[in-house]
Structure 1
Amino acid sequence: MTSPSTAFFAQFDDEKLVAADKAHYVHGYHVFDDHRENGALNIAAGEGAYIYDTKGNRYLDAVGGMWCTNIGLGREEMAEAIADQVRQLAYSNPFCDMANVTAIQLCEKLAELAPGDLDHVFLTTGGSTAVDTAYRLIQYYQNCRGKHSKKQIISRVNAYHGSTFLTMSLGGKVADHPAEFDFLKDFIHHISCPNPYRAPEGMTEGDFLEFLVKEFEDKILELGADNVAAFFAEPIMGSGGVIIPPVGYHKRMWEVCQKYDLLYVADEVVTSFGRLGAFFASEDVFGMQPDIITTAKGLTSGYLPLGACIFSDRIWKVIAEPNQGRCFSHGFTYSGHPVSCVSALKNIEIIQRENLLEHVKDVGSYLEQRLQELAGLPLVGSVRCQKLMACVEFVADKRSKTLFPEELNIGEKIHLRAQKRGLLVRPIVHLNVMSPPLTITHAQVDEIVDTLREAILETAEDLKRSGDYAGH
């Protein structure tokens, strides 16, 4: 789309929208007191890497929606493909003995793009349902093998795997486990977050890697290898703070899985479809082939909801063994939705035609380089970036890496100052996280880094004046 006109924004009554939002719209991660007082930023339009609020203010969306607007907003050819599919076939029953053309074509394409023998695809409605499906598939697989006790799952502290009851339980972020919610605990176990910045004092990265691998193996032995079914891991942790593990981590953890007959589930809901310069990061970036990959977000670049659980021949041959009379009794009304599937096919076509994976390698390396310039600023403890996944972690003391009190909400303070300057980053307590569209330019990288620098410096000065920051 072209940039919206002044007349476009004149149609919105912002006061009424704010009131209606506060009265009726329950947001994801709704912070009741803050929303009651401050409301939300109401978005009305988007083009490329930019979004516009209802007042016409433009923002460079360095969050990429929610790690997902990979090809950018307002693509005319995407709108046409979606509209054509709606006219042709808006919905089709996905259960049992029915299929639709676009779902078949997409599954074939995903099998082609996925590493090795990951040739089987269960389409879902998003990332949470893809991970939920992966767990049900694991249960089914182990029961088909006669290994009925092999159901324990190992995940990691600071992991994020979704927001259903199961997937939030799989996640390991303390902030995602408030006392008001209940969680599954009996069969889910969390080992250390592989964050080199927070490694035990005195450990080299190599030492830290050995510590993590040993901890994993020890946990399997503690639980009993015959009881442990799978290991769930994001190649790079997203919402947990863009945690880039020590070099060789995923391959070493995969080797432990092989040793003890565990399935390795790579949660690539964020890292797939170009964010790290590959369609799937597990093999191309980290040199290992998982048994299951979950994906969503960049699969359609956020144009429509869709997810997928992609799994290996090894699993398929067990669950689909002939003459067993089995039924995989799992599915969703909107699994394989033809309109969502056509948006994924068009999205993949655009990524390939415009050579966006190579573009990400170039512009992502530039983002890595530019963001490191912020490392010496006050408040900045760690800068983490791999291609188009980035995070700045803020600390009260650089030497001790001591965090600010959570109630200070340092990430939000910096985010709001950036927002006033036309930049959106994602605040997560002590962090500002970024995942811009794959189409971002070098000039837009400069805009992100220069604006964020100004917001950090202004925040540091304000905190010094208020006595909340000593400047160490």
Structure 2
Amino acid sequence: MTFRPNSLHARDIASLVHPQTNLQSHLQTGPTIIDKAQGIYVYDDEGNKYLEGAAGLWSASLGFGVERLAKVAYEQMRSLGYYQIYRSHSHGPAIELAERLLQLAPVPMSKVLFQCSGSEANDTAIKLVWYYWHAVGKPEKRKIIARTQSYHGSTCASVSLTGKPDMHADFGLPFAPFLHTSFPHYYRFHETGESEEQFSARMADALERLILAEGPDTVAAFWAEPVMGAGGAVVPPKGYFEKIQAILKKYDILFVADEVICGFGRTGNMWGSQTYDLKPDMVSSAKALSASLAPISALLINDRIFQAMVSESGKLGGFAHGYTYAGHPVMAAVALETLKIYEEMDIVGHVRAVQPTFLEAIGSLTSHPLVGHFCGTGLIGGIEIVADKDSRRPHDPALQVASKIDAHARRNGLILRYIGNRIAFSPPLIITEGQIVEMRDKLLAALNATLAELPS
């Protein structure tokens, strides 16, 4: 591919490193330059229009530009563009946002800590898990369990918590205290004749065996996304969280719900924890907190955690944790206005209203020869691409089927999120029923084009 010397493509290759990108092939192909947006659609620098089926990174809940939020950011920047909340300083936007989040919390929570990203929220929660157990005199409780194929961030600690080996390779990770239990993907891993409830019981048994093998007195916490996002938009099987939470309670293990993707309406409730009746000790959130128009995250903690923090910080002379941009007034103001918009438009009610169309339209793709399964809730879901429906056998990786589907989808004006042999859907929450059908139709055309290219 030839680039004009001063084009954005050439300048990108000369200057940027792109996350989650094959850097070698990027030097040959260059980027897709997104130039502007309108609602749930984005446009590249050549004028091509795309329906954004992944909301950017699961996150642009109100689309890709909201004038009302731009005005709030501008006004806040004029009055107080920055101040820190270290050493007992504060400001109105951070206070108001924290109060609102506590009102919205899925279970009673005591306090809020602000950061800039979901990775930082989970990283902070990891530190607080260890801080808590030191405070109550059990520093040996240090091991943290997550699930294989889970995603919790990209900091050294949060990516160690993440259960994706490709994100550990050659980084010298994961760190030792992090363990991973079974991936609860019923379609892919259930045994012949095994019901969802039976599968869930097997997943819970695997967790308990891991806890017992490690020693319950050494296990500090368990992490889970209500719906596993980067695992392929996999919803939990029936009875899963009920059984898992019973084990955590049995061995006094803290539970952290990672709501970075699921929070603020994605699953048809304000929180995924409400959709699946989770009772976490901490909740991490980000992404849709500001509709992704400002970098901010929030970690909600219950009173059990906070009282231990108070005691320990008194003993040590201070709570030695924080970020320069924690509770940034402009970011907090944007997030607070985002929550007001959600309330005014009844975002949860809208998601519930379009959910049947989403589940029916995307679910109808299971009749396609390439699609083995679909699962979803609210406006999040995933389809599994298979070579054989009966055996659930995936395609030979050398065929690059997912890449072919993605390329054809883009030619048809659809941006997807493909993860291994799954295609994940998480469109902006403002999507209409007509746009859901449009998304389905564009993907169906891509599936047909890909099928025509595959060897028979």
With the length of structure 2 as denominator, give the TM-score of the two structures.
0.96
Over aligned residue pairs, what C-alpha RMSD do you find?
A: 1.5
State the Cα distance separating 1:325 from its structure 2 match: 4.8
1:277 and 2:268 equivalent? Answer: yes
Structure 1 Cα separation of the partners of residues 123 and 66 of structure 2: 31
- Does structure 1 conserve the Cα–Cα contact (< 8 Å) formed by 2:53 and 2:428? yes
- Aligned residue number for residue 213 of structure 1: 204
CA-to-partner distance for each residue in 1:111-133, whole Å, 9 max, x for gaps? 11002321211100110000000
State the Cα distance separating 1:14 from its structure 2 match: 9.8
Candidates 317, 320, 325, aligned match of 2:310: 320
Structure 1 Cα separation of the partners of residues 401 and 165 of structure 2: 18
Q: Which amino acid aligns with 2:385?
A: F
Structure 1 Cα separation of the partners of residues 402 and 202 of structure 2: 30
- Aligned residue number for residue 157 of structure 1: 148
- Aligned residue number for residue 128 of structure 2: 137
Return structure 1 stretches of 4+ with deviation > 4 angstroms: none
1:425 and 2:416 equivalent? Answer: yes
Structure 2 Cα separation of the partners of residues 187 and 35 of structure 1: 35
Q: Which amino acid aligns with 1:293?
A: V
Alignment partner of 1:320: what SS? helix
Structure 2 Cα separation of the partners of residues 345 and 409 of structure 1: 43
Candidates 252, 264, 267, aligned match of 2:258: 267
Within 5 Å, give how 1:19-168 maps onto structure 2.
Answer: 19-168=10-159
Alignment partner of 1:427: what SS? strand
1:398 and 2:386 equivalent? Answer: no
- Please list every run of 5 or more consecutive structure 1 residues that lacks an aligned counterpart in the other structure: 1-12
Structure 2 Cα separation of the partners of residues 329 and 184 of structure 1: 25
- Aligned residue number for residue 309 of structure 1: 299
CA-to-partner distance for each residue in 1:189-238, whole Å, 9 max, x for gaps? 11111111022422221210110111111111111111000001000100
Q: Which amino acid aligns with 1:384?
A: C
State the Cα distance separating 1:402 from its structure 2 match: 1.4
1:361 and 2:352 equivalent? Answer: yes
Change (3 A) 1:314 1:14: farther
- Aligned residue number for residue 443 of structure 2: 452
State the Cα distance separating 1:56 from its structure 2 match: 1.5
Most deviating of 397-406 and 292-301: 397-406
State the Cα distance separating 1:405 from its structure 2 match: 2.7
Structure 1 Cα separation of the partners of residues 316 and 411 of structure 2: 61
Q: Which amino acid aligns with 1:96?
A: R
- Does structure 2 conserve the Cα–Cα contact (< 8 Å) formed by 1:381 and 1:393? yes
- Does structure 2 conserve the Cα–Cα contact (< 8 Å) formed by 1:70 and 1:436? yes
Identity %, equivalent residues: 36
State the Cα distance separating 1:326 from its structure 2 match: 4.2
Structure 2 Cα separation of the partners of residues 271 and 44 of structure 1: 28
- Aligned residue number for residue 440 of structure 1: 431
Within 5 Å, give how 1:360-399 maps onto structure 2.
Answer: 360-399=351-390
- Does structure 2 conserve the Cα–Cα contact (< 8 Å) formed by 1:14 and 1:55? no
1:252 and 2:254 equivalent? Answer: no
Q: Which amino acid aligns with 2:137?
A: G
1:411 and 2:402 equivalent? Answer: yes
With the length of structure 1 as denominator, give the TM-score of the two structures.
0.93
Alignment partner of 1:155: what SS? strand
CA-to-partner distance for each residue in 1:71-116, whole Å, 9 max, x for gaps? 1222111111111001011100221121121011101111110023
- Does structure 1 conserve the Cα–Cα contact (< 8 Å) formed by 2:232 and 2:422? yes
- Does structure 1 conserve the Cα–Cα contact (< 8 Å) formed by 2:186 and 2:196? yes
- Aligned residue number for residue 9 of structure 1: none
